Chains A and B, each alone.
Chain A
Amino acid sequence: MPTVRASLAPADRFVTRHIGPSPDETRGMLATLGYESLDAFIDAVVPADIRLRRPLALPPGRTEREVLQALRGLAAQNQLYRSYIGMGYHHSFTPQVIQRNIVENPGWYTAYTPYQPEIAQGRLEALLNFQTMVADLTALPIANASLLDEATAAAEAMNLTEAVAKVPPGTTPMFMIAEGCHPQTIAVVRTRAEARGVQTVIADPAGFEFRPGVIGALLQYPTTDGKIEDYRALCDRAHAAGALVTVATDLLALTLLTPPGEWGADIAVGNSQRFGVPMGYGGPHAAFFATREAHRRHVPGRIIGVSRDAAGRPALRMALQTREQHIRREKATSNICTAQVLLAVMASMYAVYHGPDGLRRIAERVHTLAVLLAQAVTRLGYRVVHSSFFDTLCVEVESSVLPRLLDAARARRINLRVISPTRIGISLDEATTLGDLADLVTAFSLNEVLPFMVEDLGAKAGPSIPESLHRTSSYLTHPVFHRYRSETEMLRYIKRLEARDLSLTSAMIPLGSCTMKLNATTEMVPLSWREFNRLHPFAPREQATGYRTLFRQLEDMLAEITGFPKISLQPNSGAQGEFTGLLVIRAYHRSRGEGHRTTCLIPTSAHGTNPASAVMAGLDVVPVQSDARGNIDLADLRAKAAEHKDTLAALMITYPSTHGVFEASIRQVCEIIHAHGGQVYMDGANMNAQVGLVRPADVGADVCHLNLHKTFCIPHGGGGPGMGPICVAAHLGPFLPDHPVVPLRQQQPCGTVSAAPWGSAWILPISWAYVALMGREGLVEATRIAILNANYVARRLAAHYPLLYTGQNGLVAHECIIDCRPFKASAGIEVEDIAKRIIDYGFHPPTVSFPVAGTLMIEPTESESKEELDRFCDALISIRQEIGEVEDGTQPRSNNLLTNAPHTLADLIADAWDRPYTRERAAFPAVWTRAHKVWPSVSRVDGAYGDRNLVCVCPPMEAYALAAD
């Protein structure tokens, strides 16, 4: 009975929740564009010769309830053991006020990178707290606002070292890695060093000689097996030889130990995960990076700095951006773009919540437990290898006893670290109880009855932290780490910061190339489940069956969507994916005896990460020009490919192009590169225009990365986390990255690129859920509506602003660029003025000045309704009229609605008002702004002031008090 079956179909479909426009609105937009149907419209946009002519081989979409059930099933297959494996990952309690109001709060997790500081002061303050926390605990004054993980942070430190340390001409630079570093850190640093032509040597630092050519050293403090070493003499030797010392360290340990900045280290890096962030089977977590004043211009990643606004009030914004890839491209200090903002915010809030005294109590408690454990296992006849330790013990175990010990531990659902056949590592943490300790000791007694009570042991053994390394300096003295101890105060602090920021909870964020689509609640809910967030990344395989199944299924989904059979989930950002893909290409060429292929062609319009990643992978960048229509200049490409045919390694290309156009020549482009011996790397940043319509593999690419945080719904978190898995053709499969602790069994791996084997595993259920919810039809529908929305916006705005670049039939792909350059001459108005005025209308501005200076790039995504698109277009059209008033002289060229934007409440209610327009027009330029808008909390931020006077830790409170006077 088909009718009954039809009426019993699910009453609610997720697709209609994810996609903004209703069927009626879709028809209306198609009519505006002059198309009868969505099919006809898509045929007009996407070149026919690259279309996928069949449905994706994926299941149909499922309801939210079904998908949550399926994820519950997968979660149930993960087993929660108590993990004492350590190696940079520890159990930690996330304060519930942080869990509910940050991790589970779209006000925080749907915001974007704070490029518009006037509507981002909340998370900028949280990040400044993070930097202050790191600078204080490490005693190194310049800290950044997070990196991807500890291992890549160590590799970035090596890059900095290479940039500032000099080697005699003709010598290969050499970098020493202490044998006491975590194995995953060693593997990542070696991979990065090898790509850059830096030689590495693993050594015992005690006897290491800093010969000429040695640029620096990487140490671990405490070491991976727990030992606390005094590195002062080593630092002296290094500095005498002109070398830099980097130390990977542990923030909790630094509450008790002499900080690296006080014993001579030049750079400190590490993972802030144990500050209230779950292990999540490997990430995401915020790594930190701090260094001395002298190296501030070589620091990788975002630095938040204090500046002032137009009214002279303190205001925060990203500082020294000229270091970064989006400006300096192949000369950048690093390719990093996405950081780990949400996780850095969590860690900083953990420090705000506990304060220095609370953190110290946690550290002392963990240390006391470790001391008790050391005494207990000593009483049982074991030898504790290092007499100095913080939270990690290295215990000698006879090889004949080891299997029985591991069995006894397993029976108690305990994971230990097997360091060698005769050594066991045990790392204790915030979550360890006395009962846990008793269980551990019983395992070590091989299930015999204990001859003592653990709590009776007393902590009266010899000093386990050397006297010379006791911390004496204070830290976290700023009031922010003392004011918010009660939950009421903490809650209000979190909410106060949140209220200063514009996220997707209040308006669309039409940032071109960033794909700020819906991050559905159902996709996010599983992150709160302990079966997903409590697993240690190096837990035995069989405890993570649910995760493994999820990875395999997600890989299958992505393989079908891209057409590439092999996938690595290891890269934990888009830029990291680019680097990995290029390493894979290099490894492939080498395997064929063509290691000399090191030229990488990159269009001038590419994202800055492309050239920066190519340089990191040891490639030489050769730019390829764009033609007048914004397409890759085929003649120039042919010429460059032919000129470099003997050394051509790869072309990096974004599709649709960074100009937001489906270039009709893409197949030809790939053929030209292949004909000259190169591989084609496709940057997947714009994949949202391809899913279900075009597959990278089918048009001729060999590798692509996917920004799961764009197309596949992982939220941007205010500037991270991201995930950048790479998908490769069969011939490149053997070269995918492997992992030293959790072997992935790749045949000829290109190395290791992330600290954790599957990158940021914790957030992969989000993308899995998105694909499962949308299904084969829903995914294609999303792509089609994303393209429709962009073209609708382009059409409405084209009558008011020049539209830069279109593809066939005058249509754009999933984003469009409007040209604001003419207003500089006609009205003295810069693109920046327009962007800031958009804030007054309650929106986040689009991407400013990329890929073309003086333009705005708008990407609405499929999730925005027609009503929201119309509101946004109305705002831009109204702004065009405001520009007109300046052009015709009604408003002066300076001191007008645009040059003074954005307008804060403080500006508007000031007693004096000397502007040639009303307060009303300034504040409520459109009718909807009266009902609701996010107000900028500061006026236009003066970027130059802050860059000339760099302050990247919390300023004293008097600074705010003075400004208020």
Chain B
Amino acid sequence: MRLEVCLLLLMCLSWPAAAQQLDRKPEGESDRQAEWQMDGQQAQDPNRPLQPVPAGDGNTASVYAYWADRVVQIQVVDLQSQSKSGIGSGFIAGQPGWVVSNYHVIAELANQPGQYEAKYLTEDGRSGRLQLLAVDVVHDLAVLLAEGLETQPLALSSAAPPKGTRLYSLGYPYDIGLTIVEGTYNGLLEKSLYEKLHFTGSINPGMSGGPALNPAGEVVGINVSTAGNQVSFLVPSGFVARLIADTTGQAPDQDALNAMITRQLQHNQQRISETLLASTEPVTTLDGYTVPGALADYINCWGNSQQDWRDDLSQVYYRCQTQDDIFLSGALYTGVIRYQHDLLSTENLHPLRFYRQLEQRSVYPQLRLDGDEQSVTNYQCQTGFLDESGLVFKSTFCVRRYLNFTGLYDSYLTLTSLNEQQAALQSTLVLAGFSWANTERLGTRFISSIRQGAK
């Protein structure tokens, strides 16, 4: 279950395009970055009083009046039908004529540049072509070059505002014209793999990529997703600053774009794997078995048990998953970890009947990943007995490869313990977008941390 709902209306399929490696420090401070830092300096001291809106009294109307011209609508146009296939929002940042938006808004352009083009439309009726300059798929960001748009950039806030600060989110919801939405800033989202800000304002489809401004008119975050009922999420503007600093102004070709995205995904999976492998093994007990528990704070776990009133089978389960994912195309989300443990037992069933039940449960994958023919290969599987920590499992390991991002794999590891006549543990680990080495390391760790007997 994905917590968030992407804001973009009509998303299409396919594979992605690119940005620069995230942890890389910008080589020297460009004028652009200096400019951004200058703009940001005012907000750096969290104790300083908030700057009033330059145009007036800080109310919504004046925020709108003062900054609306820096927010554009982005349309992704299908070249064959000559009509828009997706819409979103964007804003000028970094340099005059540079538009920042969400990666998911322009993913089609990155994936199939021959089939789509992107254009901007301003509130006062100007429009022009957009060219992709850089992307950051991990934080769902993109920088585009807007032809013929000379509007000055919005400043980026460099520090998080105090919780409760009023923010103004702008964008073009449902293609009904530029809209401003008021809400409050509620801090960083906890238990999140990819930093996000919690904003209580109604962000709606089409507003993706639009800015959320503080009363001083600085961009605090970028509209990215919503969980409904005024629970919305923003990408912190710090990531925009980093991406802008790494953007050269040269449009990359398709291979360069894929290489850029691959680097970002590789770096991201390495970061996740290292934190997971470095953590002490948090375990939980499941009716006599010790199994991997919530391995990190961004992994959310819940469990329950049930006794089938008709069948002589009881089930205790424990399910964990990361709360976020990385959008690569309408058919491919990555950067996900899911695992679950099901302890099944019976009072009276003959072992042959009991294991037949387990077999039937194993045929259909309990955890699923997206993916289409354009983005991944078919799964290849192997199965066999596994003997680890004194426990014997029947194990199936399936793995598939990303077609456009070399060295990244989705994997599906499922284990059924063969230890008792009338009880068995079925554990499954799903990793999306990990390197082969990390898939192996995380898989080995997962297997070896399952033990019989309480901790």
A and B assemble together: no
